[in-house]
């Protein structure tokens, strides 16, 4: 069985698709699974061992006829038995029909569904991982959606162990804060930034209530003056600079609590089963977090991240 999945979107979308890949591999343990994703999202598969190959294609761009012809040629030449399409572009549905792949599964839409062999209603109000998993009904797979999970490469685990030793974090857990941006952390409410002043207040509250609890902060070139500003009120902050999603995952795995906005690091924390408190602007937490007390989303009352006060965050942290 040769299967290919077309999954538009950022890194967060890929991680929400991982449970579908898990269910596919369970149903077809000897099958080969390939994915076609946007170039910005290929890094997600550093922590996923379920696929044989990852091919880039920019679903968002106005691709040239040559780009479309190249994608069509790839899909034809690999003689796939099944294709899953997790998007809603009718032009992609048409392209899949032209490939001649026997089983073509996608979401119902007025224009493109005629080109599919199995059409699945897209119930977008539910947890997105479950929405993606619904596509497997087109293959007769009706098992429950698995929990998200990832596989962190051994080299990244060793890197994180070295970092924790350098930072003196070998004696227990820590609070892991993702306060800025990472070049490999696309997806979520990253069009908005939670105010630096609010992060300062949160970090100061941690230091006041539990001064012995280490606080770890991620840093990237895109963060500018963020880290120095936060360290001006908290000189004991521990700073790490993971340069790929595997190293970021390995650092998150050692945390007792992850505090972040809706982003790829949030999905990593969920997959690693680390207690997570995530800040949401315009998006709905119920669509992006599993329904469990281990993962809590704080929704802005105005859809703007800046209107989530530090008091609202610390109330959730301390259960007040």
In terms of phi and psi (left: phi > 0; alpha: psi -120 to 50; beta: otherwise), the region of 299 is: beta
Residue 226's pLDDT is what? 85
Query: Is the distance from CB of 196 to CB of 223 less than 8 angstroms?
Result: no
Q: What is the mean pLDDT of residues 284-289?
A: 95
Q: Specify the fold of 2-139.
A: Rossmann fold (3.40.50)
- Note the pLDDT of residue 227: 85
Averaged pLDDT, 271-278:
97
pLDDT of 187 above 60 = no
Share of the chain above pLDDT 90, in %: 81
What phi and psi, each to the nearest 5 degrees, are found at residue 295? -125, 115
- Quick check: 190 pLDDT over 60? no
Residue 272 has what pLDDT?
A: 97
Query: What band does 144 get if pLDDT is binned at 50, 70 and 90?
Result: very high
pLDDT on residue 63: 72
Where does the pLDDT of residue 181 fall: very low under 50, low under 70, confident under 90, or very high at 90 and above?
A: low
Distance between CA atoms of residues 172 and 212, nearest Å: 11
pLDDT for residue 178: 92
Q: Are 41 and 11 in contact (CB under 8 A)?
A: yes
The angle that helices 154-166 and 245-253 make with each other, rounded to 10 degrees, is 60
- The mean pLDDT value for 96-102 works out to 96
Q: What is the pLDDT of residues 6-55, one digit of tens each?
A: 999 999 999 999 999 999 999 999 999 999 999 999 999 999 999 999 99
Gap between the Cα atoms of 4 and 217, Å rounded: 37
The C-alpha atoms of residue 191 and residue 181 are separated, in whole angstroms, by 10
Whole-number pLDDT of residue 268? 96
Q: Does residue 188 register a pLDDT over 70?
A: no
> Could you please report the per-residue DSSP string of 260-296?
EESSHHHHHHHHTT--EEEEESSS-HHHHS-SSTTEE
d(C-alpha 305, C-alpha 43), whole Å = 27
Residue 290 has, within 13 A of its CA and on its CB side, a CA count of 23
Identify the CA nearest to 57 among candidates 92, 26, 27, 33.
Answer: 92
Contact 147, 267 (CB under 8 A): no
Residue 246: what pLDDT? 97
Distance (Å, whole) CA 254 – CA 170: 10
3-state secondary structure of 74: helix
Element housing 67 (H / E): helix 65-77
**So what CATH class is 154-318?**
alpha beta
Region 109-126 average pLDDT:
94
Is the pTM higher than 0.85? yes
Residue 191 has pLDDT above 80, yes or no: no
| Residue ranges of the chain that CATH labels 3.40.50.2000 | 2-139, 154-318
């Amino acid at each position: 069985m040769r299967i290919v999945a077309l999954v538009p979107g950022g890194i967060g979308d890929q991680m929400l698709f991982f449970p579908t890949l898990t269910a596919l591999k369970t149903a077809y343990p000897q099958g080969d699974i390939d994915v076609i994703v946007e170039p910005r999202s290929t890094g997600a598969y550093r922590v996923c061992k379920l696929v044989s190959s990852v091919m880039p294609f920019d679903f968002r761009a106005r691709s040239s006829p040559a780009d479309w012809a190249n994608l069509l040629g790839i899909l034809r030449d690999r003689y796939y038995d099944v294709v899953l399409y997790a998007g809603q572009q009718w032009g992609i549905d048409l392209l899949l029909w032209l490939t001649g792949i026997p089983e073509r599964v996608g979401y119902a839409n007025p224009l493109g569904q005629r080109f599919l062999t199995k059409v699945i209603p897209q119930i977008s109000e539910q947890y997105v991982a479950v929405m993606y998993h619904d596509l497997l009904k087109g293959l007769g797979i009706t098992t429950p959606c698995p929990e998200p999970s990832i596989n962190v490469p051994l080299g990244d685990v060793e890197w994180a162990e070295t970092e924790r030793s350098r930072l003196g974090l070998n004696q227990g857990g820590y609070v892991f804060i993702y306060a800025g941006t990472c070049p490999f952390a696309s997806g979520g409410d990253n069009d908005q930034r939670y105010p630096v002043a609010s992060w300062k207040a949160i970090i100061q509250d941690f230091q006041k209530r539990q001064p012995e609890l280490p606080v770890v902060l991620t840093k990237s070139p895109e963060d500018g003056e963020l880290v120095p500003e936060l360290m001006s009120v908290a000189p004991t902050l521990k700073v790490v600079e993971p340069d790929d999603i595997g190293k970021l995952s390995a650092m998150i795995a050692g945390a007792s609590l992850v505090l972040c906005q809706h982003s790829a690091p949030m999905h990593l924390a969920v997959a690693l089963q680390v207690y997570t408190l995530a800040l949401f602007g315009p998006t709905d937490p119920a669509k992006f977090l599993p329904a469990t007390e281990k993962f809590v989303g704080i929704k802005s009352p105005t859809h703007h991240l800046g209107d989530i006060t530090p008091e609202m965050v610390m109330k959730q942290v301390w259960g007040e």
